[in-house]
Chain A
Amino acid sequence: MYAIETDSLKKSFHGITAVENLSLHVPEGSVYGFIGENGSGKSTTEKLICGLLVPQAGEIRLYGKSHEDPDVRSGIGALIENPACFPNSTVYQNLMLQALNIGVKNPHEEIARVLRLVSMAGAAGRKFKECSLGMKQRIGVAQALLGRPKLLILDEPINGLDADGMRIVRETLTEQAKQEGVTVLISSHILGELAKIATHYGIIRNGALIREMPASSMSDECRDFVLVNTSDNAKAIFMLRTKYKEVEDSDSGIRVYDEEESSNVTGFLYQHGIAVKEIVFNKVGLEEYYLKVMSKIGA
Chain B
Amino acid sequence: MAIRVRSMLKMDFYRLFHTPALYIMLLIAAIIPAMVLSTSGSGNAQSPSVEMTNAWQIVEILPGGVSGSVSDFGSFANINMVFIFAGLLLSIFVSHDYSSGFVKNIFTVHSRKMDYVISKSLIGIFGGAGMIITYVVGAVVVGIFMGKSFEVNIAGLVMCLLSKMFLMAIFVSLFLAISVFFKSKLWMTIVFTFLFGMMLYPAASVATLGTTAAVMIGSLVAGIAGAVGIGAISSLFLKKRDLV
Residues of A near any B CB (own CB < 8 A): 47, 50-54, 67-70, 73-74, 76, 78, 80-87, 89, 93, 96-98, 100-103, 143, 153
Given contacts A67-B111, A70-B4, A93-B18, contact A50 B10 (CB under 8 A): no
Given contacts A100-B7, A100-B11, A143-B105, contact A87 B111 (CB under 8 A): no
A190 CB, nearest partner CB in chain B, Å? 22
Among the interface residues B10, B105, B112, B242, which one has the most CB atoms of the partner chain A within 10 A?
Answer: B105
Inter-chain CA distance A136–B106, complex, in Å, is: 18
CB atoms of A76 and B102 under 8 A apart = no
CB atoms of A76 and B109 under 8 A apart = yes
Residues of B near any A CB (own CB < 8 A): 1, 3-4, 6-8, 10-11, 14-15, 18, 96, 100-112, 239-244
Inter-chain CA distance A68–B112, complex, in Å, is: 8
Q: Which of A69, A82, A85, A97 contacts B111 (CB 8 A)?
A: A69
CB atoms of B107 and A50 under 8 A apart = yes
Given contacts A84-B103, A87-B100, A100-B7, contact A53 B244 (CB under 8 A): yes
CB atoms of A78 and B242 under 8 A apart = no
CB atoms of A86 and B96 under 8 A apart = yes
CB atoms of A103 and B7 under 8 A apart = yes
B104 CB, nearest partner CB in chain A, Å? 5
Given contacts A70-B4, A97-B11, contact A52 B107 (CB under 8 A): yes
Among the interface residues A47, A54, A97, A153, which one has the most CB atoms of the partner chain B within 10 A?
Answer: A97
CB atoms of A78 and B104 under 8 A apart = yes
Given contacts A54-B240, A100-B11, A102-B7, contact A73 B102 (CB under 8 A): no
Inter-chain CA distance A54–B102, complex, in Å, is: 18
A52 CB, nearest partner CB in chain B, Å? 5
CB atoms of A97 and B109 under 8 A apart = no
Number of A-B residue pairs, CB cutoff 8 Å, is: 91
What DSSP secondary structure best describes chain B's contact surface?
helix
- Please, which residues of chain A bring their CB within 8 A of the CB of B101? 81-85
Inter-chain CA distance A98–B3, complex, in Å, is: 15
CB atoms of B104 and A80 under 8 A apart = yes
B181 CB, nearest partner CB in chain A, Å? 15
- Please, which residues of chain B bring their CB within 8 A of the CB of A82? 101
Inter-chain CA distance A251–B140, complex, in Å, is: 83
Inter-chain CA distance A43–B11, complex, in Å, is: 27
B120 CB, nearest partner CB in chain A, Å? 13
> Beyond A86-B15, A86-B100, A100-B11: 4 further Cβ-contacts under 8 Å?
A76-B108, A100-B14, A101-B11, A101-B110
CB atoms of A85 and B11 under 8 A apart = no
Listed from nearest, the 9 A-B pairs whose CB atoms lie closest are: A103-B7, A84-B101, A100-B11, A50-B108, A101-B11, A100-B10, A73-B111, A84-B104, A78-B108
Chain B: CB-nearest residue to A74: B109
Q: Which of B1, B8, B112, B243 contacts A101 (CB 8 A)?
A: B8
A217 CB, nearest partner CB in chain B, Å? 31
Inter-chain CA distance A97–B8, complex, in Å, is: 9
- Please, which residues of chain A bring their CB within 8 A of the CB of B105? 78, 84, 97-98, 101, 143
A150 CB, nearest partner CB in chain B, Å? 12
CB atoms of B111 and A70 under 8 A apart = yes
